[in-house]
Amino acid sequence: MANIQEEQTTSRRRHKKIRAERASTHIDMTPMVDLAFLLLTFFMLTTTFMKQSTISITMPVKGPPTTVPITRAITILLTSGDRILWYVGEDDPRNPPKTNLADFSVDGPESIRNVLLEKNRTTLSEIQLVKDSVAKGIIRNDRAEINKHFLAVRNANKNGLIVLIKPDDKSKYKNLVDILDEILICQVANYAIMDVSASEKQLIKKMN
């Protein structure tokens, strides 16, 4: 009997040691890689990349300096804090011009756009005549043709506005781009980018 009990005990111990082996989980990632490349190709072919925006600036021709009529010129001083100081007349240290504040708002009380529109109303009225001619069918409704007439009007106007842009060392590059946009919107034909004089720096200092 003792031998039978020992054999049963031994067999039980052997049965306890036997365990089922767990199979390792394996995921095939090949279809995921193919899907990733398909999505990447799809987005590359369908995405529109942002185009770099540029501003066309007419450079001065070589030759003697041109005299600017004071009655047609407006000087715009760009300084820190997105602020604008403008005046009409001559930069005379002995008799400083009357300065005015402005900003880049579209239609605010100190909007530089409204200032330019008011000063350039003669050219704008002639440009409106071109638009009326397009509406009546006198001028062909083609963008290139219309721009050609706009350019002819701006160049032919001898009393058009002349804008002198003078950014100081505290102004931002964005301010210069914004004022060039305003000049384009207001159809100003003649403008120049110049350095700030010593007397104009004093005007800016007084404003601060």
Q: Which one, of 86, 81, 93, 79, lies nearest residue 171 by Cα?
A: 79
What are the start and end residues of each CATH 3.30.420 domain in the chain? 70-119+161-207
DSSP state for residue 108 in the 8-state scheme? S
126-158 pLDDT tens trace: 888 888 888 888 888 888 888 888 777 776 666
Q: What is the CATH number of domain 70-119+161-207?
A: 3.30.420
Model pLDDT for residues 44-59, shown as the tens digit of each residue: 888 777 666 555 555 6
Helix (H, G, I), strand (E, B) or coil at 162: strand
Per-residue pLDDT tens for 66-92? 666 677 789 999 998 889 999 998 888
How many Å apart are CA 191 and CA 55, to the nearest integer? 14
